Structures are given as structure tokens and as C-alpha cells.
Amino acid sequence: MNTLLSVFEVLLFKYSGSADVVIGLPTAGQAAKEMYDLIGHCVNLLPLRSNPGKDLSFADYLAERKAKMLDDYDHQQFTYGTFLQKIKIERDPSRIPLVPWHLI
């Protein structure tokens, strides 16, 4: 999965021209919130931030990204929804706040 994500990030960098890339990866929330007896399935978006614009070979970027992704998984209790609550932005109830366009 790390290889596919890294390739996707490099493609986004090449096509968008933005060196700073953030991708929301769906993760299960039960283990992160220690809700093992929960019936159903919770999905949270884990924001993964990367900088594929550095002057690295793809193999070096892949190794760097693997270490960063493992670190990101260690912090999956801080989800995108938690982030939106912490910054206390005004939300539009007519749409789902997956991407707050006014912050871009």
C-alpha cells in the first residue's frame, strides 16, 4: 500500500504543481478509540501529509514515506473530524465537511 500511495502522491505533485500533498486515508476507528465492543463500523479519515517535491530518487522517497506513514498510523486517534472540531470553523450544514474549500 505504501508504494501505491507514494506513486499517487508523486503523480499529484507532478500534475498539480503543489509540493505539499495531503491525502485522507480511511481508517477504522474502533481500535483508535478503544471501542472494541462497538457494533458496526466506524471510518475516519486519517490525513497523511507528504512533500514529494524534494530532490529525492523514488526509492529514497519511498523509504522516507514508509517511516512517515508508520508514524501517522501511531497518531490515528487524531482524525480529520477531530481536527475540524479543534479549529472551530464555521460549517455549512448543507454539505459534508470532507474538504473545507475555504481553507484551501
DSSP 51: -
pLDDT score for 94 = 75
Question: Residue 70: phi, psi to the nearest 5?
Answer: -65, -40
CB atoms within 10 A of CB 9: 21
Higher pLDDT, 22 or 95: 22
Q: Which domains does the chain have, with CATH numbers?
A: 2-99 (3.30.559.30)
Dist CA 67 CA 84 (whole Å): 26
Q: Do residues 47 and 83 lie in contact, with contact meaning Cβ atoms separated by under 8 Å?
A: yes
Higher pLDDT, 77 or 12: 12
pLDDT score for 104 = 44
Read off the pTM: 0.65
Which pLDDT band holds residue 81 (cuts at 50, 70, 90)?
Answer: low
